[in-house]
Chains A and B, each alone.
Chain A
Amino acid sequence: MSLFRIENLIFRYGTRTALDIPELAIEDGGMVCLTGANGSGKSTLLSLMAGLAQPFSGRILYRGQDLSSPDREVQEGVRAEMGVCLQSPYLFRTTVEGNVSYGLSAKGIRGPERAWKVERALEDVGLGGFGSRRHHALSGGEIQRVALARALVLEPRVLLLDEPMANVDAATRTLLERALENSIRSRGITVILSTHDVDQALRLGTRIVTLHQGTLVEGGLENIFHGTVIKREDGWVFKTDLCELVVPPGREDARTAVVPPEAIILSLDPTITSARNVLKGIVTGVRMRNGSVEVTVNAGEEFTSRITPESLHKLGCRLGMEIYLIIKAEAVRLL
């Protein structure tokens, strides 16, 4: 059973559709990075996954349980497994210790156990000894770390973090990244983190989910091209400065095309195929990633294809060799 399963999710702010995700499954373990530009819907998706907002339609299942369930026990049970850290965290008007211990107190944990847990959580985020500081005597980065400690102290199974490192310096970012990686390793939690920092997503993410104007961009950050759609006699073409792709008809206004890496077939010769796109290119990179092989091919634009190690072996792929990319027109997604 998936940790999260999103089905036909739509969320609107007034008449503007902020999120439209037909399907998304997130499995247990590791760090899932939600990337995308500002306003792409990352924060909204995290709020919905945390059960802090209700979808306009569709549903989000957490371990098979509907987050929109009116059953208070279900809601409380799910919430008890989640730690949430908002993009612009709110600190209660008390001390750092009072903030970090809030969730523990709500659970009825008191005395030395609470004090010990609070201190350990503060040390994890590099704020050991900060317990007695008042909420207003903290910098932006410290507020973010207190909020992270406040979520970590509850030892959640899932940690939902909205841009947790937006206001911190490089040294603190490294410290927080290590703290998160330690939590994943030692406590086996799943971290779902939104970031607009692509490098961070690539560095930390065991999986990257990219959002663009509220919709999922399959295949993460690869194969996103900018250009225009042109209607020709023989069909519709998406044209960039460096290459052309035959695309499904109907989206004349699209300015972005995305090709999922799994949808690109690599071939040594342009075999007779029903696919409309056959591009000749040169292999520029081969690397292993989470058990599959990512092959980058320059065919005007840089394409990434994801294949199995067996396919790699069969093709005898090596840097600099010529190869053909075969892509069905229907596999090109226009945004």
Chain B
Amino acid sequence: MNFILEALLEAFALILSLDPEVFSIVFLSLWVAISATIIAALLGIPLAYIVATKEFPGKQGLITVFNTLMALPTVVVGLFTYSFLSRKGPLGFLELLFTPSGIIIGDVIIAFPLIVGLTIAAVHAVDPRAKVTAVSLGASRRQVSLTILKEARFGLMAALFNGFGRVVAEVGSAIMLGGNIRGYTRTVTTAIALETSKGEFAFAMALGIILLLVALMVNFAFRKLQVSSGR
């Protein structure tokens, strides 16, 4: 018990001393997770809107695929992406393996189905009268789409925060595609895995606490946006 307490105290000391290594790891984690969430959202939200609002053969099958991919194991994503980005792989010439961009690619693949699946559900949940009303008030097709997405904003925010939450906390893909290189591709989760295996509990604990704080802040922000969106 003492050992956990000591580690916790040391962890807080590290955080309060603004340890540069701790903060460079946290900064990289946030940068990678935010970038991946934004890219996945830019690709996923328009696709989800089309899937949710158009009728086409195989639509239900596609939705089932996205829902299944929401629980995609991150190591599997890491493995497949590794095979593409490795020197012998088809995208090896881009030299993205063991770089922050490599981690972002993996995280985009992880966040994308989650954002698509949750956005489809959010758009489906919008009252069908919203579209009829927008059309009757003279909105163009583009304006109708934006209106429906705006009406679904609570669900969209949930999709984004869930996507961010999943990629900021994942370790499997980040370790395989980033290589856990100190000062370059070491993220909070990969560092925790490494430091724990080295017996550096205090350092790992400090990073764990920061990760929890980030999760807490994200949830506070979500709650605040939820209230201000007039729900």
Interface residues of A (CB under 8 A from B): 50, 52, 76, 79-80, 82, 84, 86, 88-90, 92-94, 102-103, 106-107, 134-136, 150-151, 154
Report the minimum CB–CB distance from B128 to chain A (whole Å). 9
Give CA–CA (A94, B130) in the complex, Å.
12
Q: 8 closest Cβ contacts across the A-B interface? A: A90-B129, A103-B137, A84-B136, A106-B139, A90-B133, A106-B138, A103-B138, A134-B230
Which one of B132, B143, B151, B153 contacts A106 once the chains associate, using CB atoms below 8 Å? B143
Contact B135 A52 (CB under 8 A): yes
The binding surface of chain B is classed by DSSP as: helix
Instruction: Report how far A154 CA is from B137 CA in the complex, Å.
Output: 8
Q: Which residues of B contact A79 (CB under 8 A)?
A: 135-136, 138
Across-interface contacts of A93 in B (CB, < 8 A) = 150-151, 153, 229-231
Known: A88-B129, A90-B130, A92-B130. A50 touches B138 (CB 8 A): no
Q: Is B6 interfacial (CB 8 A cutoff)?
A: no
- Contacting A at CB under 8 A, from B89-143, are 127, 129-130, 132-140, 143
- Chain A contact residues: over half helix, strand or loop, or mixed? mixed
Could you say which of A88, A134, A150 contacts B137, with CB atoms under 8 Å apart? A150
Query: Chain B: interface residue count, which band?
Result: 20 to 34
- Contact partners of A106 in chain B: CB under 8 A: 134, 137-140, 143
Known: A86-B132, A90-B127, A90-B129. A102 touches B230 (CB 8 A): no
Residues on B with C-beta less than 8 A from A82 are 136
Contact of B86 with A by CB under 8 A: no
Minimum distance in angstroms from B82 CB to a CB of chain A: 44
Bound-state CA distance A76–B137 (Å) is 10
With the chains together, A33 CA to B134 CA distance in Å?
25
Q: Which residues of A contact B134 (CB under 8 A)?
A: 102, 106
- Residue B147 at the A interface, CB < 8 A? yes
Minimum C-beta distance from B228 to chain A (A): 11
Which of A50, A76, A92, A107 is close to B136, meaning CB atoms less than 8 Å apart?
A: A50
Between-chain CB contacts (< 8 Å), 19 pairs: A50-B136, A52-B132, A52-B135, A52-B136, A76-B138, A76-B140, A79-B135, A80-B138, A84-B137, A86-B132, A90-B129, A90-B130, A92-B133, A92-B147, A92-B150, A103-B137, A103-B138, A135-B230, A150-B137
Complex interface: chain A residues within 8 A of B150 (CB): 92-93
Distance of A286 Cα from B231 Cα, bound (Å): 58
